[in-house]
Chains A and B, each alone.
Chain A
Amino acid sequence: MTTAELIRRLRESFGPAIRSVAEPVAGKVRVAVAPEVVVRAAKALTQEYDARFLITAGIDSREERGCFDVDHIFSLDNDNIFVILRASVPGDSPKVAAITPEIPAAGWAERELQDLFGVKAEGHPDPRRLILPDDWPDGVYPLRKDVKYGDWPPVGDETTDAPYPFKQAPEGTSTVVVGPFFPVLEEPVQLRLFVDGERVVDCDYRGFYNHRGIEKMGDSELSYNEIPFIAERICGICGFIHSSCYCETAEEAMGFRAPRRARYIRGIMLELERLESHLLWTGIAGHILGFDTVLMQTWRMREPLMWLCEKISGNRKTYGMNIVGGVRRDIPKELHPDILGVVDKIEQEWSQLVNAVEGDTTLRARLVGVGMLPEATARAIAVVGPTARGSDLHIDARADHPYAAYDEVPAKVITHPGCDNWGRVLVRLLETLESVRWIREALKQMPDGPILSDEIPEEIPSGQWGACTIEAPRGEAIHYVLTGGDNRPARWRVRAPTYANLQALPSMIKNETIADVPITLGSMDPCFSCTERVEVINARSGESDVINHEELLARSRAATERLRRR
């Protein structure tokens, strides 16, 4: 389907409810609709046009047009089209009908919209806070323009002391609270598992303890060319993904593309980063299963890769190579043998590892049929990356929405029909080999030429926009940039892949045992830190062992007192 056809059909269905249509770049359509039809339009997109929900971006346009814009971003993967469904809601009483009841994947995005913009998503099945901390006062919405970067909300009377409204444990279950710090999560996260013996019946989630306000920084403090360096620090493992994604998006918004050679260099660095990430992840997955031999050996294989990246960029990680318009460092001919040497060695050792893993019966026993994510569920929750491909979904931004050099050097999409932890493991193992192949191919085809564009406009008009996805090792990242004044974006929206994947966790760990929770979490490749504490409610005996904050404090003080006396 072409965008023209899509627009024509949407106009037929919704008539005057479609207020305006813009397509600044081929394949990127923004359709502004009347807020009343936004749910119907979203439903039509997903059901009739097979669109996949990506993210919702709120925009504070009260100064310009007296309204909040709610942009739901969809992707038509088969046609390389992005559709942004815009509903503008009045600035004085911001509320919009929630699309979550129709599109479960939007659950977090709309909660975030409520938290950060104060645009109420009416009819949301779970309107609890997602991002703001428990003691954040009501009525202060950080991403609104009247809140300045660095403002600290007033505390005192307005601070609520009410505890977070966690879900109640179902009848006959105990609650095992994992976190806020736990070895298998990349950020502090609280996961309350409702367990019956060792079996997980249900769970509740509370996270975003580490929210850093990077988007706010982007639209109020940084300039276009400073953002790539902050974007690269969004993630410690796939930072280059975010800087590349931002740069490609900003370039699109400004109306040009980076030179071909720069795009090849981005592609090569992206694939090197994927190798770094997948090798790291494989080791960690082994470690979760107590298989430290895998951890040690994969990380040994990974080390020369880190040295290689240091040789190319000056850094083992966080390369700092991207700027809007291209890259700052070339990959000269002299480095090609180094790159080929490292990836050849990885390919050779990795093939042996893949064989060993495929033949390991104990690994199979731990992974096959565990952490099930059926294809339909994966589609409904709109998971991305290996989590989706392990459930046989053919989604890969490299193939669906080619960026960097993937239009000239296509990447093979690897899927697995397992829908379980085993499927996700195999997808990653085989993708690693595909990355090696891609790097080799790209080095062969890399054209000569400049690495920084000379088309960068002197003045960047406000009101232009771009939206791009990049396939990170753990799934696609999305950036959405709206240009503004003062040499910085009016809005820079980022969605990292784990945001989409983590929403699938409750259905993945349902009916698994506690022992399988870490590897199921690990199978979607979040990062790792350190465990803290667990609380238990013994619902079966009716006894409550929940320790609230004061009691915990009192107990902890009493324990200190006992030690002091001794």
Chain B
Amino acid sequence: MARTILEIALSLIILIGLAPLAEGLLRKLKAIVHSRQGPPVLQPYMDIAKLLVKEDLSTTDNWIWRMAPALCLGATMVLAVLTPLGGPPAFRMAGDVIVFIYFASLAAVAVILGGFASGNPYAYVGGSREMMMMLSVEPVMTVALAVGAIKAHALTFDGLMSSPAATSGSISMVVAGIAFLLALQAQAGKLPFDIAEADQEIMGGPFIERSGPGLALFRWAMHARLMIFTAVLVSVFVPWPIVENLGLSLVLTLAKMSIVLALVGVVDVVNPRLRIDQSMGYYARIVVFVSVGALALAIVGH
């Protein structure tokens, strides 16, 4: 029991608590590519702290509108304790891969509903774009995890990660890992896929009417989302070197996550934004050619 509580605390600290730091480091990376000095790495914390104490202006009295930020961050926090960090997830008794995917969708749905509820047409456009993104990206992620589940004959992350079949570096797992990596960029709302928010087109989309604490919670959840999916990617698809010591494994996982985050950051900074139809087409091709390919390979035993 005490161990579980410790693990939960650790998961939350790393995946939720350190998420703004990761964002700060990504901004620094971006600034270097831009030939800028950039904001301090702790700026995202300061932004969130500032927003939390500001007035929460509201365009509507709709309860969905008021609940959406808490629902989004709440779902993201549950997601965090269901996320493997080199070892099995902290809250493994409560959920497997399917529950993970549910909560991942719930966080996205909170963004969409919150946008629709605001009554702002830009938020409406942003919300429907977010929905289209979700519908095209989620299958990629789901199929990739399904490949692991088939290899391991297990639906839990610890089953997946402890199964020699899934961690032996089979072709299907490598291909599924690539598909998951490609989906990561969109899941985190980074360029060229920040289409739902597209500042220059629809000015933040679902978040346009948000201010103060509501915006802070959404921001925080978005920062955490990137951390969580990165952790899943490196834990499930890049488990090597496999070490027994959980502490060492955690350190290795964090190191691998940093590399993936840097990659995400670089892709973000060297790309313009795609259009929603282009990005849906891109993910449709990944689903068809990469994910389904991996799935087929896994089924025939590669």
Which residues of A pack against B, CB within 8 Å?
Answer: 176, 183-184, 198, 286-294, 296-297, 300, 360, 362-363, 365-366, 513-518, 531, 534-536, 559, 562-563
Contacts and interface: CB of A to CB of B under 8 A. Distances in A.
26 contacts: A176-B121, A183-B203, A184-B200, A286-B272, A290-B192, A290-B199, A290-B272, A291-B272, A291-B273, A292-B30, A293-B269, A293-B270, A294-B272, A296-B34, A297-B35, A362-B271, A362-B274, A365-B275, A365-B278, A366-B272, A514-B201, A515-B195, A516-B275, A534-B121, A536-B121, A563-B57
A366 to B, nearest CB: 6
Interface of chain B: mostly helix, strand, loop or mixed: loop
B275 A366 contact: yes
Nearest to A536: B121
A38 to B, nearest CB: 44
Interface string B15-34: 00000000000000010011
Given A296-B34, A531-B203, A534-B122, A290 B269 contact: no
B200 A290 contact: yes
Contacts of A562: 61
B277 interface: yes
B272 A289 contact: yes
Contact of B275 (A184, A288, A515): A515
A184 B271 CA distance: 20
Contacts of A287: 200
Contacts of A366: 272-275, 278
Nearest to A532: B203
B194 interface: yes
Interface string B122-154: 101100000000000000000000000000000
Most buried by A among B57, B199, B201: B201
Given A289-B273, A563-B57, 8 more contacts: A198-B125, A290-B272, A291-B272, A293-B270, A296-B35, A365-B275, A366-B272, A559-B59
Closest 5 A/B residue pairs (Cβ): A290-B273, A296-B34, A291-B272, A289-B272, A536-B121
Nearest to A513: B275
A555 to B, nearest CB: 9
A288 B192 CA distance: 13
A71 B105 CA distance: 65
B206 to A, nearest CB: 15
A355 to B, nearest CB: 14
B187 to A, nearest CB: 17
Contact of A183 (B121, B200, B269, B270): B200
Interface string B51-94: 00000010101000000000000000000000000000000000
A518 B200 CA distance: 8
Contacts of A294: 272
Given A176-B121, A184-B200, A290 B34 contact: no
B276 interface: yes
B295 interface: no
Contacts of B3: none
Contact of A518 (B201, B270, B272): B201
Chain B interface size, as a band, is 20 to 34
B136 to A, nearest CB: 15
A513 B191 CA distance: 19
A535 B121 contact: yes
Interface in B142-198: 191-192, 194-195, 198
B123 to A, nearest CB: 10
Interface of B: 30, 33-36, 57, 59, 61, 120-122, 124-125, 191-192, 194-195, 198-203, 269-278
Nearest to B34: A296
Nearest to A555: B59
A365 B274 contact: yes
A288 to B, nearest CB: 5
Contacts of A516: 275
B197 to A, nearest CB: 10
Contact of B271 (A176, A291, A531, A534): A291
Contacts of A198: 125, 276
Nearest to B120: A534
A551 B149 CA distance: 56
Given A518-B200, A534-B121, A297 B34 contact: yes
A562 to B, nearest CB: 7
A542 B99 CA distance: 41
B193 to A, nearest CB: 10
Contacts of B61: 562
Contacts of A536: 121, 124
A553 to B, nearest CB: 16
A300 B120 CA distance: 36
A286 B273 CA distance: 10
B215 to A, nearest CB: 17
A1 to B, nearest CB: 46
A300 B35 contact: yes
Contacts of B272: 286, 289-291, 294, 360, 362-363, 366
A33 to B, nearest CB: 48
B57 A290 contact: no
B202 to A, nearest CB: 8
A535 B122 CA distance: 10
Nearest to A297: B35
Nearest to B282: A365
A279 B265 CA distance: 26
A296 B34 CA distance: 5
A292 B276 contact: no
Contact of A515 (B59, B192, B201): B201
B273 to A, nearest CB: 3
Nearest to A291: B272
A296 B269 CA distance: 11
Nearest to A289: B272
Contacts of B199: 290
Contacts of B275: 365-366, 513, 515-516
B201 to A, nearest CB: 5
Contacts of A360: 272
Contacts of B202: 514
B265 to A, nearest CB: 12
Contacts of B34: 292-293, 296-297
B58 to A, nearest CB: 8
Contacts of B35: 296-297, 300
Contacts of B200: 183-184, 287-290, 518
Contacts of A513: 275-277
B38 to A, nearest CB: 10
Contacts of B270: 293
Contacts of B33: 293
Most buried by B among A294, A362, A515: A515
B122 to A, nearest CB: 6
A520 to B, nearest CB: 12
A296 B37 CA distance: 11
Contacts of A363: 272
Contacts of A517: 201
A479 to B, nearest CB: 34
A290 B276 contact: no
Most buried by A among B194, B200, B270: B200
Nearest to B208: A531
A536 B274 CA distance: 25
A513 B277 CA distance: 10
A434 to B, nearest CB: 25
A296 B125 contact: no
A76 B61 CA distance: 63
Nearest to B281: A365
Given A176-B121, A290-B191, A296 B271 contact: no
Contacts of B201: 514-515, 517-518
Contacts of B203: 183, 531
